[in-house]
Each structure stands twice: as C-alpha cells, then as structure tokens.
C-alpha cells in the first residue's frame, strides 16, 4: 500500500497542503480533484520525492519513501507528470525501453526479457505500430499512450498520473483512461489527478477532494459528488444526475 499520513507542505510562509492523508491499494483507481491551486500537483510531487513534506510521512509497503533511492522508488512507482513530453530525436521503441532503466545495472545491456516486456506493454497500449517513428511525428494522444507504455515498462506497483488527459480530445481522453482502468484490473494501483469531474466519476473507485490544500471530502464518487459540496468547493451551482450509478455534473449556465 502507498500511504500518506498528515502531509503538510509550504512554499516559504505560504501553506500549500495541510494535514492530507490518503491510501492507495492495488486494483483501485483513486482520483484527486479540486479547483486550480488546491494542491493536487503538489501532492503528486510529494509522493514521488520531487518535494519534501514540511510534516507528515509517506510510506510504501510500510517503508518510508524518503529512505528509498530514486531507482528503488522507480521500481515501485511510475509517474505521468503534468505536461509530460518526449524527446523528439528518439524512436518510440527506444523511449519506451527507457522505462526499464530502474531495473538495469550500471552500463547493463537490455535482456531478452526486457525487450519482450517492452513489446507487450507497447501492444497493450496500442503503440507498437509506432515503434520506428520519432516522437515528433506523433499526435498528442499518441504521445500520451507512449508515455503510459514507458511508465508500464517500469513494472510499477503504483501508477501516478497528473492530468493525463490535459489538452486531449474526447477520443484520446477515453482511450488513455480506459488503458489505465485495464492496467488496474491487471493488478496496478492508480492515483490520478483530473479536472473533468464526469470522467473522474466514471473511472475512479474513490475520490479525494481538495480545497485550499485541505481534504474536504473523500469516498466513492456517487456518495460525495453532491450539488452542495461542488457549490462549496468550486463556487458555482451545478446539477448532479445519476447515469448508470455514476454522477453526471451539469453546470447551470
């Protein structure tokens, strides 16, 4: 289990997160939602050691992540950062192979197992046909699927995604989130930051709602995404209707 307990973080005197706790287990998708500036991306950076919490702890299988080296952490956690991009002068196959780096020794060559695994994750994410193309030749949705394949090549237990559907059209949003859901059913745990509440409600098992750096609600989407909560958190009135046991948020224009 990936667990954060009572996390707080400040930039100087400005408090960004305050007393945030969460748990992520295998075979579940946990969504983090909230307005801009709520601290969602900061939370991802804390979980991946890009930032150090002002207080609180982060453990991975009961081990303090601050005691794990970068490569050790990368064997368990894979990240799709917000605005992630790909080097343009590499073939797609070589980019996905970079995901094997945490498992290779210094100057080690890739084994047959490495190549077989890369082929499998590229096929699962439907990017195998791009293997000889350069990243510069791909569309935004294709690049995002390559990034996902690279993350899966790490063989992580947990996948952390910071706005993975940002700037993608509806087709690619659905493709990327469907792939994440499939990998979770194969055994991964996924933590995903999303702005689209309707997509969030469809793909996530549990939600964590942040407002001004604090957790204001947590639970199943159809239990906590209420009209009163959304009006309070986002400062606008909406209507919530149920479709296939999933809440659909309809803005009042």
* pLDDT, position 84: 66
Tokens representing residue 55 in the block: 């207080």
Q: Residue 160 pLDDT > 70, yes or no? A: yes
Per-residue pLDDT of 14-51, as tens digits, reads: 999 999 999 999 999 999 999 998 999 999 999 999 99
Average pLDDT over residues 87-99: 89
Q: Residue 85 pLDDT > 80, yes or no? A: no
pTM for the whole thing? 0.90
* pLDDT, position 9: 95
Q: Following DSSP, what letter does each residue of 123-165 receive, concatenated?
A: HHTT-GGGTTSBGGGS-HHHHHHHHHHHHHTT--SEEEEESTT
Q: Of 244, 172, 186, which is closest to residue 29 (Cα–Cα)?
A: 186
Those residues whose C-beta lies under 8 Å from the C-beta of residue 9, and which sit 6 or more positions away, are: 15, 16, 17, 39, 42, 46, 51, 53, 54
Banded pLDDT at 69 (limits 50, 70, 90)? confident
């Amino acid at each position: 289990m990936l667990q954060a307990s009572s996390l707080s973080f400040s930039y100087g005197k400005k408090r960004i997160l305050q007393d945030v706790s969460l748990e992520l287990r295998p075979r579940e998708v946990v969504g983090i939602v909230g307005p801009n500036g709520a601290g969602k991306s900061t939370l991802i950076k804390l979980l991946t050691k890009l930032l150090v919490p002002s207080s609180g702890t982060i453990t991975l299988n009961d081990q303090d992540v601050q005691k794990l080296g970068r490569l050790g952490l990368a064997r368990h956690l894979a990240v799709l950062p917000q605005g992630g991009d790909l080097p343009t002068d590499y073939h797609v196959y070589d980019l996905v192979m970079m995901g094997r780096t945490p498992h290779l020794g210094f100057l080690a060559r890739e084994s047959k197992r490495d190549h077989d695994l890369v082929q499998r994750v590229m096929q699962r994410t439907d990017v195998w046909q791009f293997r000889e193309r350069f990243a510069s030749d791909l569309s935004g949705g294709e690049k995002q699927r390559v990034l996902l394949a690279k993350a899966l090549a790490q063989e992580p237990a947990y996948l952390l995604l910071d706005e993975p559907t940002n700037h993608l059209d509806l087709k690619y949003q659905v493709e990327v989130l469907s792939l994440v859901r499939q990998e979770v059913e194969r055994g991964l745990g996924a933590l995903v930051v999303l702005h689209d509440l309707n997509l969030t409600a469809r793909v996530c098992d549990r939600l964590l709602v942040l407002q001004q750096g604090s957790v204001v609600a947590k639970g199943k989407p159809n239990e906590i995404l209420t009209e009163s909560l959304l009006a309070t958190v986002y400062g606008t009135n909406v209507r919530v209707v149920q479709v296939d046991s999933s809440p659909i948020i309809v803005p009042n224009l």
